[in-house]
């Protein structure tokens, strides 16, 4: 049993790291083939699509994980099937609204960002929110089977398909590069849907039945998760757009380069976060709250130790890395990348903050923490970005992450106070970094 668990965790890591590699390669290829100005247009169009996708798309995956595990434990297959049916309907509605919002932005994009040639890249990027709709629902079924290894391998395939689309499309310009991402995502979504259907059919068959008393809880969970995702979108996608408004698309491209440490470390820790979400939600539903809290402590200690070693090394190597991967045209992003590296290290230590609210059934905690983070970040991006461009935006990111960490220090203390302390001899099965 333990060897199988170790295999699944190792396979998950390999798959997600493959996804990381393809994502980094896609950014490098686009940056090297396109001039800084055109790469800025590419980054701006992609950020616009990502912003509206996160803002308007309904986040049903977390409710599927939380309630899904509850129904699996209870062997309530009728409610499980109704839950997934309703989730797919909600995702379709959200994806359509997001796609229409991006399309509506396209005619005004040049004026908003004080640029030229943004209309077609933004318009084509409007397809992304709609194309990706079935993906999250299909992959949620894998987590309920605790097959996060297959999910990791799928994400590697998705990364490969999107990279292929970028690598081919970028040879023909910015719009073609965005179109390449759309084609790659479309193929990946078909695969995700097929996997989800195949896995879901392995659950015992039962006619759908009403969620009953859980219906209100499910609606509240989806609403809070969607608000939390929308708030997160303010940090991850609106901030670059605001920088583009006050400093121009070129600075957005530089910020995308400077965020490479954040992208890399978040992706590097993603296998652990995915495993935490799956295993700890499963344990929490079985009444093993103490083991969950113990796993968080171990994770933070190990992650902090790893970051203490990694950060100084990458800090010193940053100028060489930027010039090696992105060429000397992007050396202006070096100082910003160093600042973002510190913020990224803090977020690795806090990697459990995404999964824990889902595990304990309190998604509103993410709204509070990320709301404070966004409230600090966005005004600072406008003020500091207008003054110092990409470097100012990086400083804003670091300050907002410190605020986020402070909020979670208080929240975690309150959560721990409500859980019986773990006996020294107790060990959980939560992974370490």
User: What digits encode the pLDDT tens for the residues 314-349?
Assistant: 999 999 999 988 888 899 999 999 999 999 999 999
CA distance 166 to 179: 8
Confidence of residue 292 (pLDDT cuts 50, 70, 90): confident
Instruction: Tell me the C-alpha distance between 140 and 285, whole Å.
Output: 17
Burial class (CB in 10 A: 0-12, 13-18, 19+), 313: exposed
> What is the pLDDT at residue 171?
94
Do 162 and 200 form a contact (C-beta atoms < 8 A)?
Answer: no
433 falls in which pLDDT band (50, 70, 90)? Answer: very low
Token code pair at residue 71 = 């129904």
Confidence at residue 423, expressed as pLDDT on a 0 to 100 scale: 40
Q: What is the mean pLDDT of residues 84-95?
A: 90
* Cα dihedral 375→379→381→385 (10° resolution): -170
Banded model confidence at residue 139, pLDDT cuts 50, 70, 90: confident
pLDDT digits (tens, 9 = 90+) for 165-175: 999 999 999 99
Q: What pLDDT does 3 receive?
A: 62
User: Quick one: what percent of the chain has pLDDT higher than 70?
Assistant: 94
Put residue 277 in one of left, alpha, beta given phi > 0 → left and psi -120 to 50 → alpha: alpha
Q: What is the pLDDT of residue 6?
A: 64
Task: Say what the pTM is.
Answer: 0.71
In the predicted structure, residue 191 carries a pLDDT above the cut 60:
yes
pLDDT score of 429: 38
């Amino acid at each position: 049993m333990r060897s199988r668990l170790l295999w699944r965790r190792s396979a998950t890591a390999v798959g997600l790291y493959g996804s990381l590699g393809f994502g980094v390669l896609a950014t490098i290829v686009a940056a090297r083939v396109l001039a800084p100005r055109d790469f800025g247009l590419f980054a701006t169009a992609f950020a616009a699509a990502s912003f509206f996708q996160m803002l308007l798309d309904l986040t049903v995956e977390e409710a599927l994980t939380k309630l899904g595990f509850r129904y699996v434990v209870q062997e309530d297959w009728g409610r499980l099937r109704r839950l997934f049916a309703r989730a797919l309907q909600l995702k379709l509605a959200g994806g359509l609204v997001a796609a229409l919002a991006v399309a509506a932005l396209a005619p005004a994009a040049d004026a908003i960002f004080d640029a030229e040639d943004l209309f077609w890249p933004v318009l084509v990027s409007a397809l992304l929110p709609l194309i990706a709709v079935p993906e999250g629902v299909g992959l949620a079924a894998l987590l309920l089977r605790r097959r996060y290894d297959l999910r990791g391998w799928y994400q590697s395939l998705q990364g490969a398909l999107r990279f292929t689309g970028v690598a081919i499309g970028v040879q023909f310009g910015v719009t073609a590069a965005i179109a390449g991402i759309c084609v790659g995502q479309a193929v990946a979504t078909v695969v995700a849907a097929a996997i989800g259907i195949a896995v879901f059919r392995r659950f015992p068959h039962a006619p759908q039945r009403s969620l009953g008393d859980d219906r209100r809880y499910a609606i509240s969970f989806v609403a809070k998760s969607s608000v939390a995702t929308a708030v997160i979108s303010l940090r991850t996608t609106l901030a670059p757009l605001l920088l583009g408004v006050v400093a121009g698309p070129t600075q957005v491209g530089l910020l995308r380069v400077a965020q490479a440490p954040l992208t890399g470390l978040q992706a590097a820790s993603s296998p652990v976060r995915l495993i935490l979400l799956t295993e700890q939600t499963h344990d929490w539903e079985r009444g093993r709250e103490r083991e969950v809290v113990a796993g968080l402590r171990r994770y933070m200690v190990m992650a902090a130790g790893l970051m203490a070693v990694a950060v100084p090394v990458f800090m010193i190597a940053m100028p060489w890395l930027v010039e090696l991967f992105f060429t000397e045209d992007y050396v202006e992003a070096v100082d910003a990348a160093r600042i973002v590296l510190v913020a990224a290290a803090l977020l690795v230590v806090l990697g459990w903050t995404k999964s824990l609210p889902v595990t304990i059934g309190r998604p509103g905690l993410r709204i509070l923490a990320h709301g404070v983070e966004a409230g600090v970040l966005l005004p600072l991006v406008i003020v500091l970005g207008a003054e110092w461009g990409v470097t100012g935006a990086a400083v804003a990111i670091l300050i907002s992450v410190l605020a986020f960490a402070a909020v979670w220090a208080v929240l975690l203390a309150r959560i721990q106070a409500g859980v019986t302390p773990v006996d020294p001899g107790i060990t959980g099965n939560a992974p370490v970094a």
